[in-house]
Structures are given as C-alpha cells and as structure tokens.
Structure 1
Amino acid sequence: MTLQRKLSIALLGLLVVGSVGGFTHGRPSWQLTDTGTPTVRFRGLAPVSDRVAWAAGTAGTILRTTDGGRDWQSVGPADAAALQFRDIEAFDARSAVALTIGNGTDSRLYATADGGKSWTETFRNEDPNAFYDCVTFLDRRHGLALSDPVDGKFRILATSDGGRSWAVRSPEGMPAALDGEFAFAASGTCLVSAGGRAWFATGGGSAARVFSSADGGRSWSVTATPVPSGPSAGIYSLAFRDREHGLAVGGDYAVPAAAPDGAAYLRGRTWTVARTVPGEYRSGSAWIGDGPAALAVGPTGSDLSLDGGKTWTRFDTGSFDAVLCAGDGACWASGEQGRVATLRWH
C-alpha cells in the first residue's frame, strides 16, 4: 500500500499518514479570507498559486490577491456592474479572461493583461438564443467557451490568441442535444480541459452526459453517465487530471440536501457511480496535485476523496460553489456572501 492510501478515518475528516501529491500530513479545513464583499457570490475562481488567485462573481465583481488572500483588490471592468461573472481563467498575476452569463448580449468575455487595471471586451454574444456557461484554456493561446444548445446543438466559441478574439465553431462536429439538455453555469467547471483535450458536462434532459473533444473543439463525442438528470439536475462540475482520470459531481440545485448517485468517476471509457457519494448537491470539483486526492464543494459542505473519486468523506459544512487547485497544490474555494478560502492541513 502506498503512502497515498495509508489513512485512518477521523471524526471530522480524514487523517492522512504520509504526503499526498501537493499536500502534507493532517486533516483538511478551509481558512476563510476577508474579501470585503459580503453581498457578492463568487462562482468564478482561478487560483494561480498559494499566493495569487482571482475570483469573479455577481455585480460585475472581480477580485485579485497576490499575497495568499490577506489583501484583495477589486479589479473588475468598469462597464460590467450589471453583469454576472460565472467563470474566470487566469494565466498568472497579470493575465486573465473572464466570462459573464445571460441570454443574448449579457454573455460576454473580457481579457486583461495588466492585473485588472484595464479590461478589453473581446466577445459579446449577439444571438438571443445563445447562453454561454463556461470557458477553459487548453494552453495559453487556445481556449473554448460553451453555450447552451442553439438550433439543437451545443455551441462552441474558440480563441487561438489567448482570448483577444473569438469565433464560433461550426456545429457539424457536435452531436445533437437531447430535449431539455443544457449545461450548468454554477462554478466555471462545466467545461474543462487537460492534456490538450476538452470535456463538458450536461443535465436537464433524459440523461446527464459528458462530451469530449481531442481537436480543439472542432468535433465531439458524447457518453451517457449514471448521474441522475432532470429539469434542474445533472452534472454540475467536471475535473480531469488527464484523459483517463475524470470526476463528475452534481445533483439537483432545487433539492440540495439529497443527491443520490450524485458523483461518478471515469474508469476507462465508462462513468461509474462512486461507492460513497457526498449525498448532497455539489457544484464544484478539483484534483489536488497529480495523485488520487480530490475535492468537491457545494452549498451544504465540502468532501474529500483519496481514491480518485470512488469514495467521499465530508470535512466541512460551510457553503461554497467553486473549488480549484493551482499547479503548486494550493487549493482555493469560493461562494456566496463573499466567501473565498484556502485549504489548510492540520
């Protein structure tokens, strides 16, 4: 048995006996930071390191910290106060791309290269039938944004210049959407990427599905999952370490305290329900480092898995919408009432 699996169950979480890629001995807990924004809900989150992170939310708010959350600067675009940011992707302390959501022109993309001192609106949706949910970058130059179905198919927006310009991909390579199928703009992780590949998750229809592309979003394959789907239910968040290690979490936003079969993991090409699920609605998920440890968060609590998503254990009951971990292993979470936190081990 490796050190990654030598553990014992503690009353309030998991006691790790050994070092697990990106974190140290102990039991996890969230350490809240003071963002000074108690009325803002941060569903967009982009940690760069243990010191640098961006958070994006309601009322056009974007915050940035460069000292691990001790101080936050409000750096959102001046013309976005009436918009809701739901996703943000950051390359470093200076460069980021942020997405606002809504029908028609409320769906926009902004880019900054000077730490938020100035922003350029790089895309404004003019199609009243489109609604953009999430954005991801395959590398520093190539990115994708996802809209709910238009004319029966999910729509993909693409950039090849780091988000400075965007173009709609041809729908020819996209499978047809199910009746009522859509994506959830809950945490900026309905569309994700790893190793040059992209995935997005759905709900709303007769099945919760995962779409996958290996060619920059030009063509997609789709796989059904055992996660329950319905008018407000399905997969809310994906996390991929590589093409063979994926997590899916969700449930029903309208019934947050009950989510049977609400978490699954990828085994080969098949999605399998976790043996022990969080049991409640979860809107965000993330891998910790390059090992089997992962996090899931939602409005009723946070959970930890040490076996690649096969089993989950609750360690916190606070409300969060989004969770992501940086390349150095630092993990951040964000949510309602201006809540942004960093993960600590005790």
Structure 2
Amino acid sequence: MRARVTGAGWKLTDTGVDARFRGLDAVSRSTAWVAGSEGTVLLTRDGGRRWRDVSPPGAGKLEFRDVEAFGSRGAVVLAIGPGEDSRVFRTEDAGATWTETFRNDHPDAFYNCLTFFDRRHGLAVSDPVDGRFRILSTRDGGRSWKVLPDRGMPPASKGEANFAASGQCLVSAGRDQVWMAAGGADTSRVYHSTDRGRNWTVTDTPVPAGAPERGVFALAFQGPRHGLAVGGDFRPEKDSPRASATTRDGGRTWEPSGRPVPEYRSGVSWLPYSRHAALAVGPTGTDLTVNGGRSWQTVDRGSFDTVDCTPDLGCWAAGEKGRVARLGG
C-alpha cells in the first residue's frame, strides 16, 4: 500500500513477525529499532530489507512500548505494566546481549514512556503514585535509574494518566526541555519541565478527555517552542473530534487545529528540515499537515501506532501485526 506524501509513500517492510510495535526509534534512512508485544525487539540496518530479532532473552511475557536508540548498536527499551512488569533493558552491542537496569518495585507505579536528552541523560514516566506522576531519571545512558523527588510535580487530576500507545507521551528537546502528555481525567493536559524533570508546570489542552480512553496520546516538538499534540478516543466505535492541537510558546498555551486529524491518532512526528510539515498516525490512517498542525489531511489508510523521522530525510512508522514501513522507495 502506498500513499502520496511529499512525493513518496509508505513502503511496507517484511519483519517476519506478528508483534504489535508501539515502540520505534528511527536512527537514519537505513537503521531503525522497533519494540513491541511478546518482548519483541527488532533492528534493521539496511532500510528494512532485513530485520534481526534482537529481543532480550526471557522477555516473551513483557510488553515493550518504547525504545530509545544511540545509533545502530546501543538502545534502551521500556516494558510497561503494573509492579515488576515495568522494566528497562539496555544493550551496547546491537542486541547481542542485554542488561536489565531497572525493575519497578512499587505496586502502584506503571511506566509508560522514555525520552533521552543526549546519550547519557534520560527520563521515564509512570502514572501517578500518591497523586503525582512519577519520574525516573538516568545520568549514565540507562545503566542506572533513580526516582526523582515529586515535590516539583503538580498534583494529578482524578483519573489522569499517560497513554503507552506510541512511546511519545514523553518527549524532549535540547538539553533540558521535556513535555509529558496526559488524559483520562476531565481535561487533557500537557506537563512541561525546563530542568530535566525536577520541576513541572501543567497546561490544559483543547483535546477532549473526560473518560479513561480519551486525551492527548502523543507529542512532537520542533525545538523549544513549536509543538504538536494528537490523541482522541482509542475505542474504535467512538468518534474523536478536535483530536489535535498546536503550541507556539513551548506548551504554555495550546490552540485547537482548525481542521484537526479526523480520527484517533496515537503518534506524531515533524518531517525533517521543515518548520510546517508533520505526520500523524493511528489505527485508521496517516495524516499530513503542511502548515504546522493548523489543518490535517489523510494521505494513507493503513494502520500504524507510531512514527519517527530522521535528519537524513528518513521517516518510519510501525504498528500492529508486525507492520513497519519506511517513507519512500
């Protein structure tokens, strides 16, 4: 299946597996990592012509929902779930060996997303514990992790949580800036930290919430100011009106898209070297904006959960039934 997107289209690759890939980190046009259900991690170095199964041994019962890569050899993957199901694994040799570097020991914690500022400094986020989102921090590339104090985190609203749908509920830009998407409460919100997760502010967004299945699912920022938010209601039978929004001030305020994404979308990414073009993906299709998120147009009907673009003009998408695609031929 192909769709015209800036002169090209999604080209499906043969992964050889049926896992659902919600974790994706595109390193380049040739190299990408995906992480998904049944403890599956795959790596390609030739543009998707061949995929290597580099899954951590014994991880078959885990649900990987995020992967952050440091080139073609190093990566950190996050398994989600309550209690000890939330874990972090790290490899330095392209998945030949893995080390489990974190296993959650709090029964109320449920980690959802990872992000890295650079090769050493990164964060993971859990749903609220004792009324506040819990932030996990690393300073050594994921070799060790520490729960940050929560005194700088605003109280969570009743029912508020992250969505582990695409690995994009926690995103960073530059050395210190990080944003977190939330929903499930009466109002969808975006949290923002300028000091690597120690202190946060929070802002309402126009994306509808009001139910555990609704809110902001994914964020993408182009530097410290220009950001996109997408989401909606992930239940297939439910409509998702006003499911996208934009910010031009680093998340202090959010404006609804004049022509929003037409249905629930779980992933979003800016196109390389463009201040105005981005892709959003979900189970019912891919949408394109060429005006910074003010309006969106559906350009493909294939199912994807997450999307990521690279500086060398590569874009990748991943989703259910082992689907991974690269933009262009």
Does TM-score exceed 0.5, indicating one fold?
Answer: yes
Q: Is the 8 A contact 1:257 1:279 kept in 2?
A: no
Cα distance between partner residues in 2 of 1:316 and 1:62: 26
SS in 2 for 1:148: strand
Aligned to 1:144: 123
Task: Choose the corresponding residue for 2:254, options 266, 271, 280.
Answer: 271
Aligned to 2:197: 217
Q: Say yes or no: does 1:240 pair with 2:221.
A: yes
Aligned to 2:292: 308
Aligned to 1:181: 160
What does the per-residue CA deviation read over 1:7-35, in whole Å, with 9 as the maximum and x for residues that have no partner? Answer: xxxxx756x5xxxxxxxxx2x42100000
Q: How does 1:332-343 map to 2 (within 5 A)?
A: 332-343=316-327
Deviates more, 1:327-336 or 1:150-159: 327-336
Cα distance between partner residues in 2 of 1:118 and 1:310: 45
Cα distance between partner residues in 2 of 1:242 and 1:255: 33
Cα distance between partner residues in 1 of 2:313 and 2:63: 28
Aligned to 1:281: 264
What does the per-residue CA deviation read over 1:208-228, in whole Å, with 9 as the maximum and x for residues that have no partner? Answer: 100011111111111110110
Q: Say yes or no: does 1:331 pair with 2:315.
A: yes
Deviation at 1:276, TM superposition (A): 0.9
What does the per-residue CA deviation read over 1:224-277, in whole Å, with 9 as the maximum and x for residues that have no partner? Answer: 101101220000000011111100000001146621100001033321111111
Deviation at 1:344, TM superposition (A): 1.7
Deviation at 1:177, TM superposition (A): 0.1
Q: Is the 8 A contact 1:13 1:314 kept in 2?
A: no
SS in 2 for 1:110: strand
Cα distance between partner residues in 1 of 2:118 and 2:237: 34
Cα distance between partner residues in 1 of 2:246 and 2:312: 24
Cα distance between partner residues in 2 of 1:257 and 1:182: 20
Aligned to 1:162: 141
Cα distance between partner residues in 2 of 1:181 and 1:340: 31
Q: Say yes or no: does 1:29 pair with 2:9.
A: yes
Deviation at 1:122, TM superposition (A): 0.3
Q: Say yes or no: does 1:66 pair with 2:25.
A: no
Aligned to 1:294: 278
User: Percent of aligned pairs with the same residue?
Assistant: 56
Task: Choose the corresponding residue for 1:47, options 15, 21, 26.
Answer: 26
**What letter is aligned with 2:15?**
T
- The normalised TM-score by structure 2 is 0.96
SS in 2 for 1:227: strand
Aligned to 2:188: 208
SS in 1 for 2:151: helix
Cα distance between partner residues in 2 of 1:177 and 1:256: 28
Show structure 2 runs of 5+ residues with no match.
none
The number of residue pairs the alignment matches comes to 322
**What letter is aligned with 1:241?**
Q
Deviation at 1:329, TM superposition (A): 2.2
Show structure 1 runs of 5+ residues with no match.
1-11, 17-25
- The normalised TM-score by structure 1 is 0.91
Cα distance between partner residues in 2 of 1:216 and 1:233: 27
**What letter is aligned with 1:171?**
D
SS in 1 for 2:279: strand
What does the per-residue CA deviation read over 1:110-146, in whole Å, with 9 as the maximum and x for residues that have no partner? Answer: 0000000000000000101000000000111000000
Cα distance between partner residues in 2 of 1:213 and 1:318: 35
Deviation at 1:290, TM superposition (A): 3.1
Cα distance between partner residues in 2 of 1:82 and 1:251: 29
Task: Choose the corresponding residue for 1:259, options 227, 231, 240.
Answer: 240
Cα distance between partner residues in 2 of 1:290 and 1:210: 25
* Structure 1 runs of 4+ with >3 Å offset: none
SS in 2 for 1:43: strand
**What letter is aligned with 2:196?**
G
**What letter is aligned with 1:328?**
D
Cα distance between partner residues in 1 of 2:20 and 2:192: 29
Cα distance between partner residues in 1 of 2:161 and 2:98: 29
Cα distance between partner residues in 2 of 1:258 and 1:314: 16
